[in-house]
Amino acid sequence: MQKWTNFIKYISAVFFFVISILTVIVALFLFREFSKAPEITRESLVDSLTSRIYDKDNNLIATVGNEHREFVSSEDIPDTVKDAVLSIEDSRFYSHVGLDPKRIVKAVIVNLSSGSSREGGSTITQQVVKTSLLTSSKTYERKLQEAFLSLKLESKYTKDDILEMYLNKIFYSDNQYGIKTAAKYFYNKELKDLSIPQIALLAGLPQQPMVYNPYDNPEAAKDRRNTVLYAMYNNNKITKAQYDEYINVPIDDGLINKNSSNRQLQTISNPKYGAYIDFVVKEIRSASIFSEEKDPFSLGLKIYTNLDPKLQEYVQTMLDEQHTPMRPHASQASISVLNTKNGLVEAIGGGKNYKYGGFNYSIDAKIQPGSSIKPIIDYAPGIEYYNWDSQTKFLDTPYLIAGTNFYIQNWDRAYHGNIAMRNALAMSYNIPAVRAFESVGFERSKYFAEKLGINITSEVPTTAIGGSVDNVSPMQMAAAFAAFGNEGVYNKPSSIVKVIDRYNNEISGIKPEPKRAMNASTAFIITDMLKDVLTTNGTSPNGKVAGFDMAGKSGSSTFDDSAAINYGIDVVNSTKDSWMVGYTTEHTVAVWQGADNLDSAAKALSQEQDETTQLIMANVMSQAHNNTPPEQFKVPDTIEKSGSVYYAKDRNTETDHLYAGTSLDAVYQSKISQKNREDRLLAEQATQIARILPTAPTTKKTTTTNKSTTTNRSTTTNKSTATSSTTRRTG
């Protein structure tokens, strides 16, 4: 018995020793975390925070965020307002100590049962701490600091003080902050003059300001308002009769009419910067690091961008005034300029007479890319995965779209036999592009394009020539082509150089990291061929800047036959969308002109207007370089020559699992590519020998046909139909 007693004492001693050690460790850990918590000051709790946007020269170009806030003291806040806010946000506000365990447990149960974050456990005190002193990251350090600071805040200030801070701080959408400001903005009333349904709307807005904005989502706003009214009834702040009456009040009762223009409160130093600021705002709002923020611009950020103010004003002025080299027309246009090496956007012409908050044709438009898509989904995948080179041959012979009576046509309405890729791409012939697309296989093209930020979902033949439903924005096209000029490295287009928080710390993780989209050899071979596009041997000689080593691709789309019937448009000689994307080692420029909406024949581009797209690109390219020639494109170490033709020593094997064992097997096709190169080299050598030794026996000429194309001499079995208009594509 004594031994058992001693054993129990020993175990107890060990247990208490371990507990003591753990207590000390936890205490030290908590002390460390609490010591890192920021100081609570009146200034940090109530000061208005404004985010500022700067250009590449660090000049302030816009202020965004807490630009409109009127302060209201606690004694001037009506009890009905307090009742509504506390009923929906924190009904035990006056009884808890800054944390509400009962609320936390309830939120956990509700969220676990629903499988989503439907209810929050934060008190009003915690929300003041979070929005004033901390970030919205969901780390354990931040949660501990939030709890510690909430208790500290409660000990330092009265409940009325904390509620006053909250009601002056919260965001109500449309850049309105504080409940007094919101009352004037939505109802043009003082708080004391609001009706209870109006108060309930304002009380419910802060949970999701964009979702419950009555101008944008009146039904959602009404549901949220009624939820607040029920909470007030449940907390005995209104009677059942009042509740029944108020839920039937129209949501727009007393609401001030506002259009989109007078809902914008951003201060922009130059109206010509509107399209660029619009891009910055959208990029910040969509950044994953700010996903928990109701309005990241309320955080007092300093946002440093790559905006070139001189170039920005130049491109927007060109669109607004439609001056040379533009030709005035009734349709729309956009210009996107970015840095080839890092994807940072330098200028955005968002559309003619663009105003901030409008439809930005550079980033919002989804347009048929026409032939400008050919390098991306037709030819580059074959170079990357099959080891094609610029002399790989494709049959340019009649091509009937399977299941239809329509033929794919070239822009010159002619056929060119067994044609080399270089010539087919430079002259933008459609039939070779379709056969190249089929040769690499839809899944392979799709995989390659996705790495360049382009999504394709349709494998019909017209996808190969930009005629499918997978439309793109000019900014997307600029970024994709920039990868060709950046040795195969893709950068998602971004305006952001860096972002500094209110404590002068740089925020990381906003701009996406560069990604290798293709081998440097593929990028070089495509670039080498696209240089021909800008010559008299290509479709876009007017896109060339004298003395610049540059490459590019044009594209266009036509109207369907209904346009001829409904609006009298000449669908053969008119253009719906006109593209030109050009790049150097330093800058990439994408220009689009076209019909924003089809409501008259005036929206069609004439041939002369279509041709100006090339001139605009060349003009802007020259401006971007300050008329100084850029560095030339470098030949990668992975490139060799076979005769006069560049080819890659490396081959990307990532897609070898696709179509394995079929005629589209990448290993099989790469062997064909190598055999064709060897045959061409022998033929070239035989020709040279014949020139040097004319009396030598004649060597029978070897005729090589790329077997990757012979498998596609029959028409596709895809049963999708196409209209006659989709077969009329120009370069």
Instruction: Collapse the DSSP code of 345 into the 3-class scheme (helix H, G, I; strand E, B; otherwise coil) and give the result.
Output: strand
In this structure, which amino acid lies at residue 601? A
Per DSSP bridges, beta strands 577-583 and 587-594 are antiparallel
How far is 359 from 148, CA to CA, in rounded Å?
A: 45
Beta bridge partners of 641: 646
Backbone phi and psi for residue 343, each to the nearest 5 degrees, phi listed first:
75, 5
Q: Report helix angle 140-156 to 124-133, nearest 10.
A: 110
Beta-sheet strands, E only, within 563-684:
577-583, 587-594, 639-642, 645-648
What is the pLDDT, as a whole number, of residue 564?
Answer: 84
Instruction: Collapse the DSSP code of 639 into the 3-class scheme (helix H, G, I; strand E, B; otherwise coil) and give the result.
Output: strand
What is the pLDDT, as a whole number, of residue 613?
Answer: 98
Which residues carry out catalysis? 89, 371
Query: Measuring CA to CA, which residue among 598, 591, 593 is closest to residue 560?
Result: 598
- Eight-state DSSP code of residue 724: G
How far lies 343's CA from each of 304, 375, 533, 589, in Å? 15, 19, 23, 11
**Residue 678, C-beta contacts closer than 8 angstroms, at least 6 positions apart:** none
How far is 598 from 605, CA to CA, in rounded Å?
A: 12
CATH number for the segment(s) 68-263: 1.10.3810.10
Q: Model's pTM, two decimal places?
A: 0.70
Number of alpha carbons in the 13 Å side-chain half-sphere of residue 530: 32
Q: Let me know: does 569 contact 563? Beta carbons within 8 Å.
A: yes
What is the pLDDT, as a whole number, of residue 127?
Answer: 85
* DSSP secondary structure of 46-80: H---EEEEE-TTS-EEEEEES-EE----GGGS-HH
Query: Measuring CA to CA, which residue among 731, 725, 715 is closest to residue 460?
Result: 715
Q: Which residue has the tokens 């702040």?
A: 237
What is the pLDDT, as a whole number, of residue 683?
Answer: 85
- Eight-state DSSP code of residue 377: I
**Residue 637, C-beta contacts closer than 8 angstroms, at least 6 positions apart:** none
What is the pLDDT, as a whole number, of residue 18?
Answer: 60
How far is 163 from 182, CA to CA, in rounded Å?
A: 16
Residue 106 token pair: 């309830």
How far is 649 from 95, CA to CA, in rounded Å?
A: 74
Residues of the chain short of pLDDT 50, as ranges, are: 30, 33-34, 36-37, 111, 116-119, 135, 138-139, 699-730
Number of alpha carbons in the 13 Å side-chain half-sphere of residue 117: 5
Residue 519 token pair: 């081998």
Instruction: Collapse the DSSP code of 641 into the 3-class scheme (helix H, G, I; strand E, B; otherwise coil) and give the result.
Output: strand
How far is 532 from 447, CA to CA, in rounded Å?
A: 27
Go through the chain and tell me how many residues it has: 731
Residue 532 token pair: 């021909």
